[in-house]
Amino acid sequence: METKHANGDNLLTCKGVTKSYNGPIVLDNVDFSVRRGEVHALVGENGAGKSTLIKVVTGATGRNSGTITFDGEQMPLEFSRKDAQARGIACIFQELSLIPGMTVAQNIFLAKEPTIGRTRIIDKKKMNHQAQALIDKYKFPLKAEAAIDSISIAQRQLVEILKALSDNAKLMIMDEPTSSLTKTEVEMLFEIIHTLRGEGISVLYISHRMEEVYALSDRVTVLRDGKLVSILNKDMISPAEIIRLMIGHSISEKAVHHRLESKRSPVVLEVENITTVGKFENISFSLHKGEILGLGGLVGSGRTEVVRALYGIDPIDSGSVKFLGTPYVPSVKASIAAGIGFIPEERRLQGILATQTITSNIGIANLDVLAPKGVVSIRKELERAQKGISLLNVKPPDPSHLVGNLSGGNQQKVVLAKWLVRDLKLVFIDEPTVGIDIGAKEEIYEHIRKLSAEGVSILLVSSDLPELTRLADRVLVLRKGRIFHEFKDCVLTGEKILRAASGIIEEAADEA
Amino acid sequence: MSSHATRRLILLSLLVLIAAVLTLMNPVFLTAGNLLKLLQEASQTGIVAVGFTLVMISAGIDMSIGGIIALTAMVSINFISYTKLPVYVFVPLTLLVGVAAGFFNGFFITRFKLPEFIVTLATKGILSGLALVIAVKDSMGFVQNVYIQNEAYLWFGSSTFGGLYRTTIAFVLLGVGTQFFLKNTRGGTNIYATGANASAAKLTGISTERTVMGVYVFSGFCASLAAIFISSRMMTAMPELGIGSEMDVIASVVIGGTTFAGGMGDIWGTMIGSVFLALIKNGILKLGISPWIQPIVIGGIIVLTVIIDVWQKKLSDRLATKSKLRKIASAPGRRAA
Ligand SMILES: Nc1ncnc2c1ncn2[C@@H]1O[C@H](COP(=O)(O)OP(=O)(O)OP(=O)(O)O)[C@@H](O)[C@H]1O
Ligand SMILES: [Mg+2]
């Protein structure tokens, strides 16, 4: 498909790049190129090798063979992250790479702090000043001197973006930068990408969201199982075609979830006026058996805080909760015993034991079943692990694989699996499909629907609007820690949810 | 930030309080002589603790410091006993013992990705054995207690104007310099970043290997430096010198607010911590309590400090959310339901 490989307008050219992390081959003879001033999307299933390819290009990890030419210069077989930065390769990695305990400014300028003269003494004033100037330039809601630990996940992602922008890059690489951003922030990012392209900077963009890929990119590279499938000009191809190339067959979005009839099943969870100072106020709702209740809203609107409190991780200051008709004081222990599950949002931080195998990661959440007398049944543990792996299509499907060595999306799947293989009455799910590829996403939706059909009640937090509209029976929109609007018995659209989340209620209210 | 300041304030108040109690119970405590001696003791531990602090901020641990002190002292004794080299030649050479040991530690930790604790513990074993091997022996092969008479060498452990010990001056200079390095240079920032999140630091382009190497070399250097001052002050040195001193050093660092998890802490804290520890030890002595309980007290203090730190972190997290609430409550544009 690409014959003009050697043409001069390539900024980055990879030829025959092969990489294996002592064992299986992760990148197999990949030819790949990025032109000057283009936005280039890199797509593929979880574990296809996208992050590995950019880690090789950015010097974060080595390669076994193949040549990389950047800006006319051949890169040596071994080069450091720093070498790559110096040549103008900036990157936002999939895993957050910020340092806790430091300020926003310190993080933005980490390892490239402005110094006094030729010394290695940091000019703090100048650093804060430059950081604030950068923040203001892109109109981000941040303060240069704020501590990283005090800002939200979405804000941290913005810091991550600024960190890369401050590199004066020729090539800006972004590995799933939008996965923890909401629509408004995503739009900000898109604007930045357009500006960068206007300035002649190339952007290499990784995303599982096809509408983003399609809206942004000039060319698309598809990777499958570590091999290059093709490089395509966007105007020559449809999103459905990209998906077909990615997973090897086409998928059909299953029909919209059939909504619960107004004749309601019994109430499972009844929440009355719960408040936790500083997090949320006067939240009341009831959740019925087999119902999927969506929680929408902007990042930082208090959705995660509500489910964390209901699961018993954080305290509730006032209000009452009833579970199956009896008063219930949430605590993690009681929740597990009662058959309540929780799939957290920040899965890589809260949900995985990186140095353990898939089997023990899944096993640990199911010890009550696997080891009722204190001794784990290895056989049952393995069975569960295999069930989880096939349920969510984890790659590689090897139960003894260390979770820390899985691709980002596959780590997410393991955390999902660990809860989904349980027998639950009620489950809180926070952003179930962030970073998960399209094929697996449909399977997860299918599974959530199946759970609901079996009578499991589900509280679903999601920033992915189609996800809410396709799955939820009702949607509560939170804003600044309060319930701002409830959508029920109406045709949901992402548009309506977004408007409510942004505080525009008039039009949204019409339908209710 | 403010919880950090509170902690420091509490520590300083506690320091003054204990000093006041000691003065009331034994007036000798408040004499210039005793205070200067106390500072001198604090400095001997403190010099080692300065290097150790950097190791702990990088999320490592250096168990080899005792062995480094012992071997350094023995190398010195050998120079003094068997050569006529002037002090300004052999002392710098002696300091290389710590630097070399630090390289050794750093090399095995970064190159072979071995656990810090094991590598440095092994180093300690090797060095303390070497110290015994090279110790000055009599004709029967027993370790001889050499009295140091080299005036120039004794200069290090002696006092200067107003009775202030040179060890104390060295400690303050080293402490201030290292604090500045930590907080104001790229190298210092790299140590915090490496300790807080090594993989993130790496992705940002920091050479975490070089950083780790650096902190162990510096820690070794500090231990060797302390060995010179201690042996000079004692006017002699045994091959066991410094063995077991990890306890005091770790206590000083932990009391000062540097955590085992890494990414946090500073030298000011360690300096206060070393004085605090010396004060406790001095107090036990001055009050006529059996010195055997010293290690029990120090062990207890380490545990207590760690407990309080964990507890305080929880408290400050909770206070932080409360203050956020106040901001939210006072913010305009709240929707009336
Ligand atoms: N450090 C590692 N050690 C061993 N194997 C690894 C390591 N990192 C990644 N892999 C393996 O390499 C393969 C490709 O992973 P990579 O992270 O590049 O996937 P990806 O395309 O970025 O997927 P995702 O969409 O889930 O982020 C996976 O099979 C993964 O298990
Ligand atoms: Mg990835």
Backbone angles phi, psi at B236, to 5 degrees: -165, 175
Interatomic CA distance for residues B244 and B294, integer angstroms: 13
- B114-129 pLDDT, tens digit per residue, is 999 999 999 999 999 9
pLDDT of residue A262: 43
pLDDT of residue A424: 85
Omega of the bond leading into A396 within 30 degrees of 0 (cis): yes
CA A392 to centroid of ligand 2, rounded, Å: 17
Find chain A residues with C-beta within 8 A of B204's C-beta: 81, 97, 110-111, 163
Domain B3-294 has CATH 1.10.3470: yes
Ligand nearest to the CA of A45: 1
Percent of chain B with pLDDT over 70: 93
Interatomic CA distance for residues B272 and B264, integer angstroms: 16
Find chain B residues with C-beta within 8 A of A147's C-beta: 1
Enumerate residues 6+ apart whose C-beta is below 8 A from B110.
B208, B209, B212, B213
A42 lines ligand 1 (CB under 6 A): no
Q: Which of B179, B181, B186 to mutate to test the interface with A (most CBs of A within 10 A)?
A: B186
Best CA proximity match to A418, nearest among A359, A369, A371: A359
Interatomic CA distance for residues A479 and A299, integer angstroms: 9
Please identify, by atom number, the ligand 1 atom nearest to the C-alpha of residue A437.
25
In Å, how far from its chain's centre is CA A481? 22
pLDDT of residue A253: 57
Q: Is B56 on the interface with A (CB under 8 A)?
A: no
Burial class (CB in 10 A: 0-12, 13-18, 19+), B122: middle
pLDDT of residue B140: 87
Q: Side chain identity at A182, as an amino acid letter? A: T
Cα-only R_g, chain B: 22
Name beta bridge partners: A205: A41, A174
One-letter-per-residue 3-state SS of A255-280 = CCCCCCCCCCCCEEEEEEEEEECCCE
Interatomic CA distance for residues A385 and A154, integer angstroms: 32
Mean confidence (pLDDT) of chain A: 85
Interatomic CA distance for residues B41 and B285, integer angstroms: 13
Name beta bridge partners: A474: A293
Best CA proximity match to A81, nearest among B205, B199, B211, B194: B205
Ligand nearest to the CA of A436: 1
Helix (H) or strand (E) holding A213: helix A210-216
The stretches in chain A having pLDDT less than 70 are: 1-8, 249-264, 299, 346-351, 371, 489-492, 505-512
Could you say which of A97, A120, A480 has the minimum Cβ distance to residue B187?
A120
Backbone angles phi, psi at A18, to 5 degrees: -125, 140
Handedness of CA B232, B235, B238, B244 (dihedral sign): negative
pLDDT of residue B324: 56
CA A97 to centroid of ligand 1, rounded, Å: 17
pLDDT along chain B (337 residues), means of 10: 80 93 89 93 97 97 97 96 93 97 97 95 97 91 88 92 93 98 95 92 92 98 97 93 93 93 94 95 86 89 87 73 55 39
Q: Is B144 on the interface with A (CB under 8 A)?
A: no
pLDDT of residue A185: 80
Residue B242 to residues B135, B227, B297, Cα–Cα distance (Å): 15, 8, 19
- B225-236 pLDDT, tens digit per residue, is 999 999 999 999
Q: Is B318 on the interface with A (CB under 8 A)?
A: no
Q: For chain B, how many residues are written?
A: 337
Ligand 1 atom 27: residue of nearest CA: A408
pLDDT of residue B179: 97
Mean confidence (pLDDT) of chain B: 90
Interatomic CA distance for residues B19 and B12, integer angstroms: 11
> What ipTM score was computed for the predicted complex, to two decimals?
0.84
Mind telling me how many Å the CA of A485 is from chain B's nearest CA? 10
Domains annotated for chain A, with CATH where assigned, are 1-86+213-252 (3.40.50.300), 257-339+424-511 (3.40.50.300), 351-422 (no CATH)
Enumerate residues 6+ apart whose C-beta is below 8 A from A441.
A208, A433
Enumerate residues 6+ apart whose C-beta is below 8 A from B172.
B43, B271
Helix (H) or strand (E) holding B45: helix B32-57
Residues of A with CB under 8 A from a CB of B: 60, 80-82, 85, 91, 93, 95-102, 106, 110-113, 115, 119-122, 124, 147, 150, 163, 277-279, 479-482, 484, 503
Q: Around B148, how many Cα atoms within 13 Å sit in the side-chain half-sphere?
A: 28
Interatomic CA distance for residues B139 and A62, integer angstroms: 59
Report CB contact under 8 Å: A278, B328. Answer: yes
Interatomic CA distance for residues B256 and A59, integer angstroms: 38
Could you say which of A113, A121, A277 has the minimum Cβ distance to residue B322?
A277
